[in-house]
Amino acid sequence: MAADHVDHHEHHPHGLAHQFEDMAQQKESVLLGMWSFLITEVLFFSGYFLTYLVYRTQYPVAFAEGSHELDITMGAFNTVVLILSSLTMAMAVHKSHEGSKNGTLGYLIATFILGGVFLCVKYVEYSAKFEHGLVPGLAWHPHGEHSPQLALFFSLYFGMTGMHALHMIIGAGLLIWLLVKTAKGTYTAEYNAPIEVFGLYWHFVDIVWIFLFPLLYLLGRH
Amino acid sequence: MAEHHNSPTVGTYLAVFSALMVLTALTVWAAFQDLGPYGDLVAMVIACTKATVVIVFFMHVKYSSRLLWLFVGAGFLFMLILFAFTMADYASRGWLGAPSSYYLSIQ
C-alpha cells in the first residue's frame, strides 16, 4: 500500500486534485458541480421571467407600448454578437481539448471582444433610455400618452437586462483570468476543465439573452 | 483522450451557429407578422428551440453522462413547476366566484 501511495504521487498528472482517482472522474465531478450552480442560476432568472409573465398577462397594452420604445436593430445586433461569442467560446474549448495554446488564446480573446461589443451596445441603449426619460426612479418623464403601468415594463427591462449585463461583466473578468492562465501554459489537452466550465457559464448567459430579446423587444410589435 | 471521440466537430459547431442565426432572423420576421394570439407562442417556441440547441451542442449535454442528463432535466423540471403552479394560480383566480383577498384589495 505504501509503495502504491508513493508511486501514485510520482505519476500525479498535472492539474489533478488529490481527492480524485483520475482526470476523467475529476472532469465529471467538475461539470456536475458547474451544472448545479447553473440550475440555481436558471431558477434565479426564472423569478424575473415569471414576474414578467404575470404582469404582461395583466397589462398587455403597457408592455406592448414598452416594446415599441426599444431599439429592435440594436437588440437583434446584440443577439447575433452574443451567439457568435458562444461559437468562439465553444471553439476555445475545442482548441483546449486539442492542447492548442495559441488556438485557445485566439478564441478566448475573440469571445472577450464580442462580449465587450455587446456591453458597448447595451451602454448606448441605456444612454438613450436616460435621454428619453424612460428610466423609472432616475429619469422618468415619458412623452405623450402612456399607460400608467409603462414604468413596470421598464423596471423589468432594467432589472432583467441589468442582471444579464452584470453576468457578462463577471464573465469578462473571468475571461481575463483564463487568458492569463492560458498564456502561462497552465492548461493542457488533459487538464482544461476551467475553460470548459467557464464555457458552460458563458453559454448560459447567452441562453438568458435568447429569451430576453423576444420577450422585451419583439412581443406586441406587429 | 476518450473525450475526443464523443466531442462535437467544428462542422457541428458551425451548423449549430447557422441554425441559431436562421432562427434569430425567423423570430424577428415573425414579430412583424399578424399572427393574432399565436404571436407569443411562435416567439417562445423559437426561443426554446434556440436554447435547447445551445444546451445540447454548445454545452455538450448530448455528449455527457446520463447522470448529467438527469441533473439538467431535473433542474428544468423545477423551473416548469415554478411557472405552472404560479400561472395556474393567477389564471384560476375568480373561477369559484368567492371573493379572494386579492380581488377585495383591488376593488
pLDDT digits (tens, 9 = 90+) for A164-197: 999 999 999 999 999 999 999 999 999 999 999 9
For residue B78, the distance in angstroms to the closest alpha carbon of chain A comes to 8
**DSSP state letter for A215:** I
Q: What pLDDT score was predicted for residue B5?
A: 46
Asked if residue B78 and residue B59 are part of one domain, the reply reads no
Chain A: residue nearest B2 by CA?
A24
Categorize the per-residue pLDDT at A15 as very low, low, confident or very high, splitting at 50, 70 and 90: confident
Q: What is the dihedral of CA B68, B73, B78, B84, to 10 degrees?
A: 170
Asked if residue B1 and residue B29 are part of one domain, the reply reads yes
In percent, the amount of chain B with pLDDT more than 70 equals 84
Asked if residue B49 and residue B13 are part of one domain, the reply reads yes
Chain A: residue nearest B58 by CA?
A90
Categorize the per-residue pLDDT at A11 as very low, low, confident or very high, splitting at 50, 70 and 90: low
Q: Which of A115, A106, A105, A112 is nearest to A181 (CA)?
A: A105
Asked if residue B21 and residue B47 are part of one domain, the reply reads yes
* pLDDT beyond 80 at A118: yes
* pLDDT beyond 90 at A111: yes
Asked if residue B70 and residue B57 are part of one domain, the reply reads no
Q: What is the dihedral of CA B37, B38, B43, B47, to 10 degrees?
A: 120
Task: State the average pLDDT over residues B78-90.
Answer: 94
Q: What pLDDT score was predicted for residue A217?
A: 96
Q: What pLDDT score was predicted for residue A3?
A: 47
Mean pLDDT, chain A, whole residue set: 92
| Rounded Cα distance, A220 and A208, in Å | 20
Number of domains present in the structure of chain B: 2
Task: State the average pLDDT over residues B16-36.
Answer: 94
Asked if residue B9 and residue B55 are part of one domain, the reply reads yes
For residue B69, the distance in angstroms to the closest alpha carbon of chain A comes to 10
With beta carbons less than 8 A apart as the criterion, state whether A86 and A206 touch: yes
Categorize the per-residue pLDDT at B3 as very low, low, confident or very high, splitting at 50, 70 and 90: very low
Q: What pLDDT score was predicted for residue B102?
A: 64
A134 DSSP β-pair partners: A140
Task: State the average pLDDT over residues A132-151.
Answer: 89
Q: Which residues of A touch B20 (CB under 8 A)?
A: 83, 86
pLDDT digits (tens, 9 = 90+) for B43-60: 999 999 999 999 999 999
Query: In degrees rounded to 5, what are phi and psi of residue A139?
Result: -145, 75
Q: What pLDDT score was predicted for residue B107?
A: 58
Asked if residue B79 and residue B41 are part of one domain, the reply reads no
The owner of cell 458552460 is A200
Beta strands at A134-135 and A139-140: parallel, antiparallel or unpaired: antiparallel
CA distances from B105 to A218, B22, B32, B97 (A): 33, 47, 38, 15
Q: Which residues of B touch A219 (CB under 8 A)?
A: 31, 39-40, 43
The CATH class of A25-218 is mainly alpha
Residue type, A10: E
